[in-house]
Amino acid sequence: MKRTTLTVAFAAACSFSLVPAVAQSASADSPATRQASFQSASAHSSLVGSAQSQSAALVKAVGLSADNAFKIKDVLKDTDGSTHVRVDRTFKGIPVVGGDLVIHRDASGKVTGHDGMFDGAITVDTAPAIPKATGEAKGLAAAKAHKKSEGLDAAKGAGSTLVIRVDEAGKQQLAYMVKTTGMQKDRTPSRVRSFINADTGAVISSFDEIAHATGNGIYDKNVTLTTSGSSGSYKLSNPNTGNYTTDSNNQKINGTTMTDADNVWGDGSNSNRQSAGVDAQYGADTTFDYYKSVMGRNGIWNNGNGARSRVHYDNNYVNAFWDGTQMTYGDGDRNANPLTELDVAGHEMSHGVTENTAGLDYSGDAGGLNEATSDIFGTGVEWYANLASDKPDFLLGEEIDINGDGTPLRYMDKPSKDGASYDCYSSSVGSADPHYSSGPLNHWYFLASNGSGAKTINGVSYNSSTCDSSSVTGAGRADIEKVWYRTLSTKLTSTSNYKAAREGAIKSAVELYGGSSQVCKSVESAFNAINVPKGTAACSTSTTPTPTPTPTPTPTPTPGTNAVTNGDFEAGQTGWTGTDGPITNNAGEAAHGGSWKMWLGGNGSTSTEYEQQSVKVPASGKLTYYVHVDTAETTRSTKYDTAKVQVINGTTTSTVSTFSNLDAASGYVAKTVDLSAFAGKTVTLKFTASEDSVSQTSFVFDDVVVK
């Protein structure tokens, strides 16, 4: 298993199926200094409290009258001291649904701009023409009508609030926001939100706020857990994250926290009730760690709090869902296949992150963006874990065979392969079910990460075409996920559409990586490729001139300089192409210098990984690099896992260095290779590693230099 610690405990898992401002220029190039800084729970609380005390000044700063007020929902702080204040808006004490904003301030507290779909004056009469009781009755009827096709068999009103509803187009309506609870035929809880025009009684919109999943199977094994308690009485509760897992005992109850005497949980079988609990806990903790380590977010609510996961919920329950406070997993058909696979946790708990950042509605364009966000970060969690028993990919539901023919539920490279999702954006996309209107953003994510065309990533073949027949160069999955998280957390609001997503993502790429970066260009070209219309945000069109006016793709390096682009890997994937994932700053293996390195292998399963780039070899023709090999293989005689350093000159491949599990050592070893035979030629420098199906071997390379 790569980049994770092994333990003797087994985990059970299954996979899943989902059913149906102020204008700001983003063209300036800027260094990558605008990423979010991690805030402790107390520091975050202090930021929110301080912003709330200044809310009246914020109202004035964005040009609104004193009839308006802001309630501070969240504050994110960047490493340069700037902040992004997310606010909900009221007018004469009435909530303005769709009027939420993100207000941006520099380090001195000065407002520099804001994002949101509606920031104008309220013009509707705030006195309703129909009584509240009538609005609630119509809302209950709307909920039943909305859920009819999905089999709502019980419903009751849960209250209503008089609001001003502003839709994506800016249309204002005084409305009753009616909340209705119920139960679907498959016993999934339902929480429908309906908007009823308070003057006419007409239904404005109605959508379910609980997204759910279905599937079967037990797959993942050998994961590490942090538990609480002591010998003889351990609890499946992580004191570091606050996440804990309960056994609902096949009833619709919260159940009790799972316990164990020896702290070895589960045996990988469905007959052992702990097995499902292990995967649920691992999924919750891994999702928490992903957001904390990768995005700088302190849990779902950004306050350090964890969540409960309920396993063995109800009887023969073929579903899993996030309800705003906790994860719930059924045991599947005949209670034989708990729905506790890692994708489920990553996807569903990311709905919680969306709810507590942009708050995207589950309808229209916003619904598709909401669902795709969970797909994107669910995929990110899977890659972050990088389990050998559930190898990460860009497919969803690939292990459960929900279609009965071995095909996955969703394809991020070409969403339409599922038979219902959209590949390309159009103005009609928002009328589709969010699971299908999510397709264009999923397509964007794959293109921006990996580029267009045919390719094999982690053993899976993809072929992603574009909607405008363009060619897209990928910038790497990890960087694109960071761009999308910043977009979600600092740019989007509840009614954001695909056009706002494009604007926000390009701005975010500029802030994180600079306007002339490959990341920004990949983000922009991928939105072009899915037909999202251009707005005002754009990457820089300027390019850095080459040292000499040579027509060759790789200029002759200046004597004494490194001919290898990004040989220390501190710029991530820049300059390198190959398998997704090996170039990383993951702390599981130390770098020789800095924090980034090329980490090949380490999977403990049959796999081949590589990274390469074109290099023009100077006259001296010397390759130097550092390599570290560690392995779980115990043999002292057999080369089960191997790595090679190769030089490809035209059709000829020369292997200049070889390594195996027998070369394992405690630290890095310096290597020098004579390349004088290739002097003056542009060759491909390739690092590749292959593992067998048993124990892992990691081949870590760093500080690659050709002079």
- β-bridge pairing 652-660 and 642-649: antiparallel
What is the SS3 string spanning 399-413? CCCCCCCCCCCEECC
- β-bridge pairing 453-457 and 172-184: unpaired
Write the DSSP assignment of 84-103 as a string of letters.
EEEEEEEETTEEEEEEEEEE
Contact 512, 482 (CB under 8 A): yes
For the chain, give me the number of helices (H) and strands (E)? Answer: 11, 32
Q: Which among 284, 276, 270 has a CA at the least distance from the CA of 237? A: 284
**Residue 501 parent element (H or E):** helix 498-513
Residue type present at position 533: P
CA distances from 600 to 160, 181, 257, 582, 667 (A): 56, 50, 39, 5, 16
Give yes or no: 592 in active site.
Answer: no
Please give the sequence-ordered ranges of beta strands (E in DSSP) within 231-329, or none if there are none. 233-235, 244-247, 256-257, 259-260, 308-311, 320-322, 326-329
Burial of residue 375, with CB atoms counted within 10 A of its CB: 0-12 exposed, 13-18 middle, 19 or more buried:
buried
Max CA separation in the chain (angstroms): 88
Residue type present at position 96: V
What three-state secondary structure class fits 478? helix
Give the Cβ contact number of residue 231 at 10 Å. Answer: 8
Q: Considering the candidates 136, 341, 348, 511, report the single residue annotated as catalytic.
A: 348
Residue type present at position 500: A
d(CA 355, CA 104): 20
Torsion 459-291-400-431 (CA) sign = negative
Give yes or no: 511 in active site.
Answer: no
CA distances from 193 to 80, 138, 352 (A): 39, 12, 17
Measured distance between the N- and C-terminal CA atoms of the chain, rounded to whole angstroms: 36
Q: Considering the candidates 84, 104, 146, 435, report the single residue annotated as catalytic.
A: 435
Residue type present at position 117: M
State both tokens at 447: 């293109």
State both tokens at 141: 């009827």
d(CA 113, CA 62): 8
d(CA 292, CA 384): 12
Q: Which among 25, 8, 432, 479 has a CA at the least distance from the CA of 223? A: 8
- Do you know the residue count of the chain? 707
CA distances from 262 to 232, 233, 416, 441 (A): 6, 8, 48, 46
Q: Which among 280, 286, 282 has a CA at the least distance from the CA of 299? A: 286
d(CA 426, CA 417): 18
478 phi and psi, to 5 degrees? Answer: -60, -45
Q: Which among 677, 673, 667, 669 has a CA at the least distance from the CA of 686? A: 673
d(CA 270, CA 76): 42
What is the Cα Rg of the chain in Å?
26
Render the burial of 260-294: b for 16+ CB within 10 Å, e for the rest.
Answer: beebebbebebeebbbbbbbbbbbbbbbbebbbeb
What is the SS3 string spanning 130-161? CCHHHHHHHHHHHHHHHHHHHCEEEEEEEEEE
Residue type present at position 154: A
Contact 662, 642 (CB under 8 A): no
d(CA 675, CA 706): 9
Just list the catalytic residues: 348, 435
